[in-house]
Amino acid sequence: MSYTAHIKTMRLQGQLPQAMKQASEALGRDPSDFDLMGETICVLILAGQSETANSLYQIFASAPGEHALEQAAMIRLALQMGRRDLLAGMPPPENPAWLAELLTKNIDPWGHFLPTEVQLTVANGPSVFHFHGPCPHCGHRLQTLVKTSLLVFRQWLCPACFGQVQLDHHGALAPLEKNFSDLLQLGPNQSDAALIDYLRPRLMGDLPVPDIVLALGQEYHFLINEIILNQLNDVQDQPEVES
């Protein structure tokens, strides 16, 4: 796989820091690789480094030969640079949806990301939610991580179509309710309450408890979360037995 194809794959997977590092190193070795330069510009646009992307684009656009930036990336860069005048007279494409709306209604819409899948991991610390789902503009599979809290409001660009995407706590909550519905039933809640009633007086000092428990109370909560999640994963991974 060529460097350009490798970096594009990382870009489409949303791995922007890695893609930017490798693109910079590869372009430093071969500054005349204009396919690689075009892909580097796309990564810089997604990372919000519009000034650097624009400087590189000036070199890219003025170089001899046939090479061009994809329309969605070029328009997103123009918007980042405050140059809506460059869009005048452009015919609207059928896809992606955000670009069609921009060129017909002069509106750069925010698409609401509605994840369809979520994985929950805990590794020596807070919970991490891995959300997956389609881009609301083009259908490209997006993924994003949220640590610890579901009080989230995140905005970014789709790495495939460069449309604006946002995730809020409503979108984050829906796949959790779907994928972990068993944990929302009354039984587990009652068990949690019983465990909390048992631990609270000990952690608050009302009942005797070893000093190490008081010192590492929060870490014990993390470990309990990890044990529970590992047990759930073990159950989900077990093959079904035919009766």
Establish if 106 belongs to a structural domain. no
Give the DSSP H or E segment for 27. helix 16-29
Across the beta sheet with 153-157, what order do the strands follow? 110-112, 164-168, 153-157
The answer to whether residues 165 and 190 belong to one domain is no
Taking the C-alpha atoms of residue 12 and residue 73, their distance in angstroms, rounded to an integer, is 13
Establish if 101 belongs to a structural domain. no
Q: For residue range 90-129, list pLDDT tens digits in order.
A: 998 888 999 999 999 999 999 999 999 998 887 666 778 8
Q: For residue range 175-231, list pLDDT tens digits in order.
A: 888 877 766 665 555 666 666 777 777 667 677 766 666 566 566 666 666 666 666
Domain assignment of residue 121, given as a range = 111-179
Rounded to the nearest 5°, which phi and psi values hold at 142? -100, 155
Establish if 122 belongs to a structural domain. yes
Task: Name the DSSP class of 206.
Answer: S
The answer to whether residues 8 and 64 belong to one domain is yes
Domain boundary pick from 164, 179, 194: 179
The answer to whether residues 173 and 188 belong to one domain is no
Q: Which two tokens stand for residue 24?
A: 């910079």
Establish if 37 belongs to a structural domain. yes
